[in-house]
Structures are given as structure tokens and as C-alpha cells.
């Protein structure tokens, strides 16, 4: 072992993981929104007559229970009344995504929901957020606005002061030229400025340049029509940070001897916009991972068919490989948004799942070598084939066999990108006893020698030496490497 490197300990992990469509469950459970996948049910003429639940995340199951395989219309007939069923049909047939708020008061629900529907296969994937609290807040904003407009400013100064002090939204009184005449604490927080700084400023001083014209137009419309104007806009804080807010501008009643004034109710949209952005990322990631997984599963199925002589053999081999894929998905589900699966986590999980004797396995290499998301599934299947071969024919299947897995990180590899170099070496294997018919590695060898170079741009070797298999794999890894020491 080189100085600075440490031996990576073997850890035991549960080798049994769900297979088939449950491979997507971990990805969906990363969201606090309800994420559901439905497949269309069609009649003999090809018309959609219902939808069937295929997948649910943990949030959905907490509200619905176990509903996979059940009819949407039987379980939730209210979707017809609210137009949700028609939306599902349109998206399935046209492929055009739809987003809409629904006030759903059917079955076990009574609230407001914001639902995004996208096409997925012959059906849809939906993401549903409970916005009841937000709608209640908006209703309160409207109530405050209407209440304050009705109040005669001269007769209600004390009431106005109390509302300004306790309102959960930003409140201000603004002159026709955009000067702030009165502000509350919440508005100062949104602006990131003190009360004195805000009162010494105007709308033009704090508004993003691109949003200034719409803001002045909204003031002019409210003055001309006497009806409230609403717009989403950006304010600039002292440190340059932009904050999104929704502003509703209402004309205050005229008072003798006073110029026109406006009441502006401002709601901070920062968290809502972050949540919307996260929702879009989750939907895109779900679609991307679904596409990748389907491609890998299709490849596994085709390889298993070619290697099997009967249905029982195909079933055993196909399920074995799907379990390896499921272990990778479990690793992915525990990652944060921008994290990556590391090589040591991947090899630990595969060896633990195979149930090999840890005393006969040596792992040596840096911790935290982060793999590209696009390569991790294919590499996992290659490692699974090597481990399976070692258990059946090689170092993990014979009492005297030993397995050494070493890897190194080359920060500036081919193309000035980081590469990982993996060395899989078996020793102490009686090749004649384990392989009397001259077994040559089969699909595992074909995957390593042909698929990895073609799909991942890897450089590989595979040799059946006198004491067992010696395989090397060199491939590019993520450019955002972890901070763990080697």
C-alpha cells in the first residue's frame, strides 16, 4: 500500500432488493410531492376509458395506501368532475405536458393542488403539490387588500398601523412617483434593507431594470382604472441578489388635501420558485432515469435470452442481473441532487450481495472516486458479472482462492479528464478443477471487452491466467471529485 492510501473495509449489506418497475421507487421517493405513474386502459377501438396506477412514491402511498394496479376512475371518480381525467387523456394522446391548479373536494381530499402531467409511455407521470396553505395565504392577502382599501385612511390610522405591524406579507404605501411613504418589517426583510433605507428609496431604485417598466405601468393602470394591478417582479438586494415577489397595487381612497397614494401588498416568491424549479428537475430526472433504465433492462433481457437455453435459465439469469441493477438504484436514491455514486460504494455493495468471504478479498484504492451517472449502471453490471464468475468458477468459489481489487485515480487522464484504473486479479484458483470445459467468461467477458469500450469509452483487458481471471478497466469518471482523502 502506498503512503497516504488506506485499506477500504468490507461491509455487509442486504443483497435482496426489489426488481422490475420498483427500480424507479427510490428516485421518486426523493420528492415530498405526490409522484404517480399511470398507464392507459383502452377499449377495443383504442379509446382511453380509464387509467391504472403503475408507480407511487412514499408521499402518495401515505395518502392513498397501496393502489398499484387499481383503476383511477373506481378509486377517484372525482377526477372526471374536475377535468383531470380529460387532461390525462390529452397528454397521453398529444404528448403535450399540462399544469393546472385544482380545488379538489372529492374522496379523502379537501384542498388545493398544483398538478403537472407529462406523457410517459402509453400513460402519464404526475407530480402533485398541496398548495392549500399558499392559497389560504393568498386569500388572506386579498382579504387584507380589500379591507384596507375600504378603510378611510384618516379615520383608521391606528388600525392601519396595527395591520402594518402584524401582517405576514410585505405592505407599503407608495406615492404616484414610486416613492415609499410607509413600509412594514416584512417588506424590509424582502428587500434586505433597513426601514430608513427603504423610505429613502423609490420603486425604481430597488426594482430590477427589466421589471421597472411593467411596475410603473401597473401603478398607472391602478390610478387610471381604480382596480388592483398584479405582477411578478424582481427586486435587487444590496449584495446584488435578486428576489422574486408578487406585488398587488391598489389605489387608496382619496383624502382631502392629499395626492393619490397606492397600497402595495408584496409576497415573497423565492421559496415557491425554488420549489417549482426543483419540481421541474425531479420530473426531468425521472424521465431521464426511466429512459436509461429501460435501455439497460432491454440490453440485459436480450443478453439473457441469447445465453439461456430454456425459460427457467432465462428467468434466473435475468432476475439476478436486475437485482444488481436494483442495488445501484438504491445507491442513487440516497444521493443529494448533485452527488454521484462512488466506485468504493459500488464494489462494496456488489461483493456484499454475492456473499463472498471478506477474509479472502482485498480492496485497495482511494475513497470517493465519483462515477458519471451515465456510466454507473453499465459498470455495475460488468462488476456483477465478474463477481458472479468468481463465485461460480474462481476465487470466491474455491477454498484457496483470493481476490484482489485495486483502483487508482488519474486526475489528468486521456482528454485531460479524470480516469479511474481498476485491476481485478484472482489468485489461488485451480482452473482445471473449476473450468474443466474451458469456460471463457461468457457474457461477462463480452460485456467487458466489447460493451464497455463502445458504451463508456473504456479501455479493458480480460485474461484467463493460470490462477484465475485478471481483468483491467480504465474509464473516465466525474470531473467533480469528492474531498475524501486517499
Give tens-digit pLDDT for 339-361: 678 898 888 888 888 776 668 89
Q: What average pLDDT does range 28-32 have in this prediction? A: 66
Contact 453, 430 (CB under 8 A): no
Q: What average pLDDT does range 165-185 have in this prediction? A: 87
The answer to whether residues 283 and 259 belong to one domain is no
Q: Which of 12-21, 257-266, 327-336, 410-419 has the highest mean pLDDT?
A: 410-419
Tell me the per-residue pLDDT of 111-157, one tens digit each, with 9 for 90 and over: 899 999 999 999 999 998 888 888 888 888 778 777 765 655 445 56
- Longest pairwise C-alpha distance within the chain: 107
What CATH number is attached to the domain comprising 390?
3.30.565.10
Contact 174, 219 (CB under 8 A): yes
Residue ranges making up the domain that contains 147: 134-268
How far apart CA 366 and CA 372 sit, in angstroms, is: 17
Structural domain total, the chain: 3
Of 130, 152, 171, the position where a domain reaches its end is 130
**Rg (Cα) of the chain, in Å, rounded?**
31
Contacts of 224 (CB under 8 A, 6+ apart): none
Strands, sheet with 111-119, edge to edge from the N-terminal-most edge strand: 48-56, 34-42, 123-130, 111-119, 98-104
The answer to whether residues 317 and 186 belong to one domain is no
How far apart CA 398 and CA 431 sit, in angstroms, is: 10
- Find the Cα–Cα–Cα–Cα dihedral 304, 308, 310, 315, rounded to 10°: -30
Of 130, 146, 164, the position where a domain reaches its end is 130
Mean pLDDT for all residues in the chain: 80
Of 72, 95, 130, the position where a domain reaches its end is 130
Phi (first) and psi of residue 144, to 5 degrees: -60, -45
The DSSP line for 325-390 is HHHHHHHHHTS-TT---BHHHHHHHHHHHHT--GGGEEEES-TT-BPPHHHHHHHHHHHHHHHHHH
Confidence of residue 403 (pLDDT cuts 50, 70, 90): very high
Look at residue 440 and tell me whether its pLDDT is greater than 60. no
> Is the full-model pTM beyond 0.85?
no
Contact 98, 119 (CB under 8 A): no
- Counting every residue written for the chain, the total comes to 486
Confidence of residue 213 (pLDDT cuts 50, 70, 90): very high
Confidence of residue 381 (pLDDT cuts 50, 70, 90): confident
Confidence of residue 400 (pLDDT cuts 50, 70, 90): confident
Q: What average pLDDT does range 6-24 have in this prediction? A: 47
Q: What average pLDDT does range 287-293 have in this prediction? A: 59
The answer to whether residues 394 and 445 belong to one domain is yes
Weakest-pLDDT range from 208-212, 221-225, 312-316, 416-420: 312-316
Other beta carbons within 10 Å of 415: 9
Query: In this predicted structure, what is the pLDDT of residue 391?
Result: 85
The three cell numbers of residue 486 are 486517499
Amino acid at each position: 500500500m502506498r503512503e497516504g492510501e488506506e485499506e477500504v473495509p468490507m461491509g455487509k449489506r442486504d443483497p435482496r432488493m426489489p426488481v422490475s418497475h420498483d427500480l424507479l421507487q427510490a428516485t421518486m421517493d426523493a420528492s415530498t410531492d405526490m409522484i404517480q405513474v399511470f398507464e392507459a386502459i383502452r377499449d377495443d377501438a383504442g379509446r382511453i376509458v380509464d387509467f391504472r396506477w403503475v408507480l407511487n412514491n412514499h408521499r402518495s402511498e401515505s395518502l392513498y395506501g397501496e393502489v398499484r394496479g387499481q383503476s383511477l376512475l373506481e378509486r377517484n371518480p372525482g377526477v372526471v368532475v374536475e377535468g383531470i381525467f380529460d387532461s390525462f387523456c390529452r397528454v397521453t394522446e398529444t404528448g403535450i405536458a399540462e399544469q393546472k391548479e385544482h380545488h379538489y373536494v372529492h374522496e379523502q381530499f379537501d384542498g388545493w393542488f398544483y398538478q403537472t402531467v407529462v406523457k410517459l409511455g402509453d400513460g402519464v407521470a404526475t407530480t402533485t403539490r398541496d398548495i392549500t396553505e399558499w392559497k389560504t395565504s393568498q386569500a388572506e392577502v386579498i382579504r387584507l387588500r380589500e379591507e384596507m382599501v375600504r378603510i378611510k385612511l384618516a379615520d383608521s390610522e391606528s388600525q392601519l398601523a396595527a395591520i402594518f405591524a402584524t401582517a405576514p406579507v410585505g405592505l407599503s404605501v407608495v406615492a404616484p412617483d414610486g416613492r415609499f411613504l410607509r413600509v412594514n418589517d416584512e417588506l424590509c426583510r424582502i428587500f434586505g434593507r433597513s426601514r430608513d433605507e427603504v423610505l429613502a428609496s423609490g420603486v425604481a431604485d430597488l426594482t430590477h431594470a427589466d421589471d421597472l417598466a411593467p411596475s410603473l405601468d401597473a401603478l398607472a393602470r391602478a390610478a387610471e382604472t381604480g382596480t388592483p394591478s398584479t405582477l411578478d417582479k424582481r427586486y435587487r438586494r444590496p449584495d446584488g441578489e435578486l428576489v422574486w415577489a408578487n406585488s398587488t397595487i391598489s389605489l387608496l381612497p382619496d383624502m382631502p388635501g392629499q395626492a393619490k397614494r397606492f397600497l402595495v401588498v408584496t409576497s415573497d416568491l423565492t421559496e415557491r420558485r425554488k420549489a417549482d424549479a426543483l419540481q421541474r428537475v425531479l420530473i426531468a430526472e425521472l424521465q431521464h432515469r426511466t429512459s436509461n433504465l429501460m435501455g439497460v433492462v432491454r440490453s440485459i433481457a436480450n443478453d439473457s435470452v441469447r445465453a439461456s437455453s430454456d425459460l427457467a435459465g432465462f428467468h434466473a439469469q435475468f432476475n439476478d442481473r436486475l437485482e444488481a441493477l436494483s442495488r445501484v438504484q438504491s445507491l442513487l436514491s440516497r444521493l443529494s441532487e448533485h452527488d454521484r455514486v462512488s466506485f468504493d460504494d459500488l464494489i462494496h455493495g456488489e461483493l456484499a450481495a454475492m456473499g463472498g468471504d471478506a477474509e479472502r478479498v482485498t480492496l485497495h484504492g482511494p475513497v470517493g472516486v465519483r462515477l458519471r451517472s451515465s456510466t454507473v449502471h453499465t459498470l455495475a453490471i460488468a462488476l456483477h458479472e465478474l463477481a458472479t464468475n468468481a463465485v461460480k468458477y474462481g476465487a470466491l468459489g474455491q477454498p484457496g482462492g483470493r481476490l484482489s481489487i485495486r483502483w487508482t485515480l488519474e486526475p489528468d487522464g486521456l482528454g485531460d479528464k479524470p480516469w479511474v484504473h481498476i485491476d481485478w486479479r484472482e489468485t489461488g484458483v485451480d482452473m482445471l478443477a473449476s473450468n474443466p470445459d474451458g469456460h471463457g467468461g461468457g457474457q461477462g467477458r463480452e460485456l467487458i471487452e466489447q460493451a464497455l469500450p463502445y458504451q463508456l469509452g473504456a479501455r479493458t483487458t480480460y485474461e484467463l491466467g493460470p490462477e484465475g481471471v485478471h481483468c483491467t478497466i480504465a474509464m473516465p469518471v466525474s470531473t467533480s471529485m469528492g474531498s475524501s482523502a486517499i
